[in-house]
A and B are shown apart, each in its own frame.
Chain A
Amino acid sequence: MSDLKPLLAGEADELETLLLRAAEDDEPARGALERAAATLGVSATLLAATVASATPAAQAAVAPGAGAVAKPLTWVSLGKWLALGMGVGSVVAGGAHFALAPATDEQPLAFTAPLRTAESATPVAPLKPAVAPSAAEAAAPKDDAHAVNEEESAPSKPAGTPAAAPPSAPAMGAPAPSAVLPGPSSASFAPLEQPQAASTAAPGAEPRAVSASTLGEETHALDSVRAAIAAGHANQALEELHQYAKKWPRGALAMEAALLKVEALLRSGNGAEGQREAEALIARAPRSLYATRARELLRAIAPRAE
């Protein structure tokens, strides 16, 4: 009997691992915990006072089986699936549309890999799901932290309500802008500059700007940045972003990187520069999810960082 080990502890193949691990960072919208506490008559301060210290324990408790085994699969190895998908790349199934900026003078979004869909009501903090509240606290006095939670918390009803993402998950939980258009069936792989000359893009119908492996590496690099931010190492995150920009000056995930830079700057206490970066990003694509997210970051962090 004891020979039965969880799939993630050994036998799972790539796709199985991908699916199983997708569950790991699923977590309630911000504010859900506080609402539950309120229902139970537990004061917010009592809860908030120790949320930060308790989250590692919570995480340890979350998946002793899945977490402990830490299979080396990252989103990098999704390159294979990515490659499969790219050949087809025409249909976004199951309503997983991407809200892209309307076709105006703005650039289309860069490849939106880690962006989550507009209708999602479940923000996800990649890698360190439990860090969001502590991050909020780091940036705000306790009572305010709660206020922020309340303000940003998404109701559990998904319909039409933008889901606020925890600050540590800038790219994963971007709420829908007020006017969300269903995305075109295939996203453009437009880097920041020279959208048309997008690296290796063939001038064909199917955008194939990025090779799967490159994209995987980029994704991995930004995951690492996210982890650094979530762990409170904003300066390390900035350094990694610098490396990212050097390595991929026209990276497919450049918008994502720009957003992470905004967050890292704001969190490192460099509010003024963070604000400038945010404004530049917003100017670049005012109606994109990135802009929405940047504005949200400014609202959530900037006033206290300055």
Chain B
Amino acid sequence: MSKVPAPTQSSLTVPAEMIPPSKDPPAAVFGCALPPRERDARLAELLRVHFRLVWRALRRLGVPEHAVDDAAQEVFIVAAKKLTTIAPAYERRFLYGVALRVAANARRARAARPEKSETVELEETASAAPSPEALLDRKRARELLDATLEAMPDDLRTAFVLFELEGCSAPEVAALLGIPIGTATSRLRRAREAFRAAVSKLHRKLENGEER
């Protein structure tokens, strides 16, 4: 009867593929294609509320500093294409979902073409005793955080970043990663153990440094 395929609720889960580019998104769950003005207003709102959030999550998920602006744009380009399918209450989740894939791609790209200067090895940073200004420096603290995250396996890191740093709940983490909640919880616990182990190692280094 109708040729229009039934819309799906895909916005609630991580979209598996980027849909083909289109200036006029097809009619979907949340209304027909938006008029340009409304589209722009919604996109502007999305950017305003979530751009920093997405940007930061991408950084912690391992997108190198020089690539993170582009990666964040990529996330919002996907969002713009799917704008009409994103329920307002699920904007953040949708964006995180896309961000996870973008970050995974970036990590893969980086692994294929390692850039030594981008990541600071924890071993390397901790062995040289940080000076006071370095410790008080938030950027420095972030480098240490990133080094700690870098040392985690990707699956643990992702769960950790979402839960500990981005404030996602455990069920949200499970939904985003497409895993059962029990798995998510145990992953979160293991991630936390890894983090704490790395931090206490750092702690010891600092204290040993004092005696030198």
Q: A36-B73, A40-B80 are in contact. Are A65 and B134 (CB under 8 A)?
A: no
CB pair B137–A116 under 8 Å, yes or no, is yes
Q: A65-B163, A186-B131 are in contact. Are A113 and B44 (CB under 8 A)?
A: no
B43, B139, B189: the one within 8 Å of A124 (CB): B139
CB pair A75–B136 under 8 Å, yes or no, is yes
B59, B124, B139: the one within 8 Å of A96 (CB): B139
CB pair A156–B199 under 8 Å, yes or no, is no
Q: A26-B59, A27-B56, A88-B212 are in contact. Are A219 and B136 (CB under 8 A)?
A: yes
CB pair B44–A47 under 8 Å, yes or no, is yes
A58, A112, A122: the one within 8 Å of B53 (CB): A58
Most buried by B among A57, A67, A112, A122: A122
CB pair B210–A6 under 8 Å, yes or no, is no
CB pair B141–A94 under 8 Å, yes or no, is no
Binary interface encoding of chain B residues 62-103 relative to chain A, with 1 for a CB under 8 A from any of its CBs, else 0: 000111111011001100100000000000100000000000
Interface of B, helix, strand, loop or mixed by DSSP: helix
Tell yes or no: A81 within 8 A of B by CB.
yes
Cα distance A186–B56 in the bound complex, in angstroms: 31
Cα distance A19–B59 in the bound complex, in angstroms: 14
From residue 40 to 91 of chain A, which have CB atoms closer than 8 A to chain B? 40-43, 46-47, 50-51, 54-55, 57-58, 61-68, 75, 78, 81-82, 84-91
Query: Which residues in A have their C-beta under 8 angstroms from that of B156?
Result: none
**Closest Cβ neighbor of A22 among chain B residues:** B141
CB pair B55–A28 under 8 Å, yes or no, is yes
Query: Which residues in B have their C-beta under 8 angstroms from that of A15?
Result: 199, 202-203, 206
Tell yes or no: A197 within 8 A of B by CB.
no
B94 to chain A minimum Cβ distance, whole angstroms, is 13
From residue 18 to 48 of chain B, which have CB atoms closer than 8 A to chain A? 40-41, 43-45, 47-48
Q: A36-B69, A172-B138 are in contact. Are A84 and B206 (CB under 8 A)?
A: yes
Cα distance A65–B47 in the bound complex, in angstroms: 21
Cα distance A94–B137 in the bound complex, in angstroms: 13
B41, B142, B189, B202: the one within 8 Å of A46 (CB): B41
Tell yes or no: B14 within 8 A of A by CB.
no
Interface size class of chain A, counting residues whose CB lies under 8 Å from the partner chain: 35 or more
Tell yes or no: B13 within 8 A of A by CB.
no
CB pair A85–B53 under 8 Å, yes or no, is no
Binary interface encoding of chain B residues 201-212 relative to chain A, with 1 for a CB under 8 A from any of its CBs, else 0: 011001101101
A6, A26, A130, A156: the one within 8 Å of B67 (CB): A156
Tell yes or no: B153 within 8 A of A by CB.
no
Tell yes or no: A1 within 8 A of B by CB.
yes
Tell yes or no: B170 within 8 A of A by CB.
yes
Q: A6-B164, A89-B129, A115-B133 are in contact. List 8 more A-B contacts (CB 8 A).
A: A19-B145, A26-B60, A40-B47, A90-B129, A94-B128, A113-B136, A114-B136, A117-B139
Chain B interface residues (CB < 8 Å from chain A): 40-41, 43-45, 47-53, 55-56, 59-60, 65-70, 72-73, 76-77, 80, 92, 117, 120, 124-145, 148, 163-170, 181-182, 185, 188-189, 192, 195-196, 199, 202-203, 206-207, 209-210, 212
> Can you pick out 12 interface pairs between chain A and chain B where the beta carbons lie within 8 Å of each other?
A22-B142, A23-B59, A28-B68, A28-B72, A61-B50, A62-B52, A88-B131, A92-B134, A93-B127, A94-B134, A113-B136, A157-B66
